[in-house]
Structure 1
Amino acid sequence: MTVHFCPEAQVKWLDSDEFSTEFLRLLGAAQEGGSMVSECFLAASRVDPGNRSASWYREWVRIAELSRERGNIAFERGRVLTAQSNWLRAINYYHASTFALDAADKKRQDALGIMRDCARRYVAHLTPAGEVVEIPWLEGHVLEGYFLPAPAASGRTPVVVCMGDPGHWKEEYLFKVARYARERGMSLLAVDLLGAGVGAEFEEVIGRRDLETSVGCVRDYLTSRDDVDERRIAILGDGAGSSFVARGVALDNRFAAVVCDGGIWDMHERAFLMNRFSRDGAGSMAMEGGWPGHRFHCPVLITVGGQGWLESGVVADLFERLKSHHPDISLKIFESSETVAAQGHHDNPTLANEFIFDWVADRLDGIPA
């Protein structure tokens, strides 16, 4: 008798869109080194649908601690590569465990603290070694980042900055995109808006109306380094809430290239509100002025999934309006046939990253060192 194993049958809570989306993200991270498929299904199968939030935290912390311990033991034995791969997975699992917890929850803060420790160990033992850096931004609140130098680099190198939406943790970029930058001869600066803490101040940060000022501060910091080619700095704004990156780049003419939503979400929300409060539909006419009122000074790439939160037709329409004011801008819509169509490309991040970083490399390579 042949027995067919169906992992999905072991997951009892797939009726929850939020948890299912997070689980899809975890599965997609497997091909980037951020998880293992078998470990994901093992942890998910133990989640109690009757007590979903508490059991979700418990099971992902359990699998995270196993990965962290394996990494620490491997490091003690001199097996640095094995240690690093286990620390990377532990980072993702600890982060996943906090998915349904409030920012002030001590369990969340403890898990994120251990996640940060794993990330620091991983960065410190890269070749060449990375750095934990602090970047001045607000009074009493500095940005924290991981700077990963390009391998075998001598002198000044091009850099890709990765910033996510206000609640996005920079630790994800260590497995999600770092290798794509470093394999193409670029250094990486992964930075978030949450500072050096564990996110308890999240509400204070996300509520600010000047998030775009952080982009210029990051650019200032990179200019101060003697290992960075300041003429070849690109930035990647990741996530649906990263329009602040587009605004920041539009206000700063020092970037060589940007991958972001180009203000698509800001345009969509503005059009929605104006149409809602306009009886004659004049709101849509107001969009002809474009966004954000400042012209981009560098090439721009927008990537979206065909099955994302905004329909492809809506994105294409907003893009055409944007392009009329910013000619050097490109749009890539990944359709379902490419398996990169989910929101955030969680279903197949590899193909999205290959496309994005090839585009960035082409732009930076065209600028003399």
Structure 2
Amino acid sequence: MNPNRTTIIMIVLSITVLSVISAGCTMIGQQSPASPPATPDAAPAPDCPALVFTDREFAFELQRTLGASYSGEADIGECLATASRIREGDFESWYSEWNRTADNFRAAGDGSLAAGHRVTAMEAYYRAATYYRTAEFFLHGNPADPRIVETWGKSRESFRDALALDVVPYEIVAIPYENTTLPGYFYMVDDSGKLRPLLIIQTGFDGCQEELHPYAMEGIRRGYNVLTFEGPGQGEMIRVRHIPFRYDWENVIGPVVDYAVSRPDVDENRIALWGISLGGYLAPRGAAYEPRIAALIADGGTYDVGQTLLANLREGGGANLTEIELQEWLQTDPIEFNDAIREVMARDTGTRWLNENGMFVFNAGSPARFWAKWTEFSLVGVAEEIRCPTLVCAGAADHFDPDGAQATALYDHLTCERELMVFSDDYGAGSHCQLGAFAQSFGAKFDWLDDTMGMTGSRPGEE
């Protein structure tokens, strides 16, 4: 297939629209009637309110960092003061100011520890870890930039220094995977070694597992041991080991569960899996091939990247290509496609970030090669194989999934016991993965998990 110029323009425009939706913020319509709301319906509201930034991508990432305040791993005043010094849409300014803030609180933590104030040091280290992670976020346009590994490393070091001062028992673990290992943290309710249900939590397209710590602590409070990990394309695996994403995530989840059941403190009959952001595709993909998963949370649910792209293309009047035809053409690395995408990247922050990060985590040398690999992420013919009870989550103002189309498609193709939970934006929970509204998010999702896993009625920390 060799698309003509009109088709190429339509494909680029469709991808640009999808890029802006996926990486920025948007106003959406009413919730789908098929989507049962988690809270009462309300008039639609724009995601990512402009507290400081009018740039949509910067506004959302600020909201994401502010959300860590819920668990004490950021502070509102520190975040707003840092953001006020950043130039709109300027990736270098973003890095410099967040890195400066992180350095400040890293040093403050060191000073507190030297003076014997362990709790104050721990809290400062957790916040520094968040701010270093935020600083590194937009650096991926040049994969060889030494600040990527340096800043990520400072974030992980600060996080681990905080963990060492905390009271929750944990282990830094290495999970056997093919010819290497996957990095992970195993958090325990206590150090008794008692057999307990396990919650496995994983991140998605742009996260590191240290960002999952608030989720893990909520699980601990409810009586679960918790395992987090990073797979190909994530965290250490891409930054240090240069192992890119793969669509067939069953080859990742299988070894993770193998490791879990090898532990004497894991109840192998009660293992839950929670995938966040792109993890809303990755975790269902793994669960479809892994019968040892007893409960699944797809947060937010993702069904098929290529189908969304094609739908945008057809609505825009583009050629009636099949998904395979589009993928095959992108694999030829067409110059005209790459030039058009880069032109949009130069003027739109969201499109720039999505494609730069996509090329980074997929180890792809061009936008076309990134999109060719991205369109492989599909649960068509796979979702029906999931057997465990499944919670599919969506936000009424989710910029990754307008109108909950992806979440609803996943829900509709499930044949297992299932629930679709759509969060309204009445009190700010309608954003992607309910970032910035963790109290509502954790309450609803953990209640479902507790009911499914037989944890209801337990006292905190007990089964």
Q: What band does the TM-score fall into relative to the shorter chain?
A: 0.7 to 0.9
Cα distance change of structure 1 residues 335 and 210 upon mapping to structure 2, 3 Å threshold: same
Aligned residue number for residue 322 of structure 1: 413
Are residues 1:162 and 2:251 paired? no
**1:297 is matched by which residue type in structure 2?**
R
Aligned residue number for residue 390 of structure 2: 300
Q: Is the 8 A contact 1:307 1:335 kept in 2?
A: yes
Give the whole-Å Cα distance in 1 for the aligned partners of 2:139 and 2:238. Answer: 11
Aligned residue number for residue 4 of structure 1: none
Which stretch shows the higher mean deviation, 56-65 or 125-134?
125-134
Which stretch shows the higher mean deviation, 98-107 or 196-205?
196-205
Q: Could you tell me how far 1:293 is from its partner in structure 2?
A: 5.4
Pick from 150, 154, 162: which aligns with 1:110? 150
Aligned residue number for residue 246 of structure 1: 284
Give the whole-Å Cα distance in 1 for the aligned partners of 2:411 and 2:170. Answer: 40
Cα distance change of structure 1 residues 197 and 165 upon mapping to structure 2, 3 Å threshold: closer
Give the whole-Å Cα distance in 1 for the aligned partners of 2:261 and 2:228. Answer: 16
Q: Could you tell me how far 1:157 is from its partner in structure 2?
A: 1.5
Pick from 422, 438, 458: which aligns with 1:349? 438
Pick from 177, 182, 193: which aligns with 2:231? 193
Aligned residue number for residue 220 of structure 2: 182
Q: Is the 8 A contact 2:280 2:297 kept in 1?
A: no
Aligned residue number for residue 365 of structure 1: 454
TM-score, scaled relative to structure 2: 0.67
Are residues 1:149 and 2:188 paired? yes
- % identical aligned pairs: 27
Aligned residue number for residue 59 of structure 1: 97
Helix, strand or coil at the partner of 1:158 = strand
Are residues 1:258 and 2:296 paired? yes
Helix, strand or coil at the partner of 2:429 = coil
TM-score, scaled relative to structure 1: 0.83
**Gaps spanning 5+ residues in structure 1: where?**
1-7, 281-288
Q: Could you tell me how far 1:10 is from its partner in structure 2?
A: 8.9
Give the whole-Å Cα distance in 1 for the aligned partners of 2:453 and 2:422. Answer: 23
Helix, strand or coil at the partner of 2:63 = helix
Q: Give a deviation string over 1:37-91, Cα, whole Å, max 9, x none.
A: 1001111111134x82222111111111122222223333333322222111111
Q: Is the 8 A contact 2:102 2:128 kept in 1?
A: yes
Aligned residue number for residue 332 of structure 1: 421
**1:298 is matched by which residue type in structure 2?**
C
Q: Could you tell me how far 1:204 is from its partner in structure 2?
A: 4.0
Q: Could you tell me how far 1:222 is from its partner in structure 2?
A: 0.7
Give the whole-Å Cα distance in 1 for the aligned partners of 2:447 and 2:50. Answer: 38
Q: Is the 8 A contact 2:126 2:159 kept in 1?
A: yes
Aligned residue number for residue 170 of structure 2: 130
Q: Highest relative contact order (Cα 8 Å, sep 6+), 1 or 2?
A: 2
Q: Give a deviation string over 1:302-343, Cα, whole Å, max 9, x none.
A: 1111001323363575255224x22x0111100111320011
Q: Is the 8 A contact 1:334 1:341 kept in 2?
A: yes
Are residues 1:100 and 2:138 paired? yes
Helix, strand or coil at the partner of 2:222 = coil
Pick from 70, 78, 81: which aligns with 2:116? 78
Aligned residue number for residue 17 of structure 1: 56
Count of aligned positions:
345
**1:169 is matched by which residue type in structure 2?**
C
Q: Is the 8 A contact 1:123 1:146 kept in 2?
A: no
Cα distance change of structure 1 residues 148 and 366 upon mapping to structure 2, 3 Å threshold: closer
Q: Is the 8 A contact 1:303 1:331 kept in 2?
A: yes
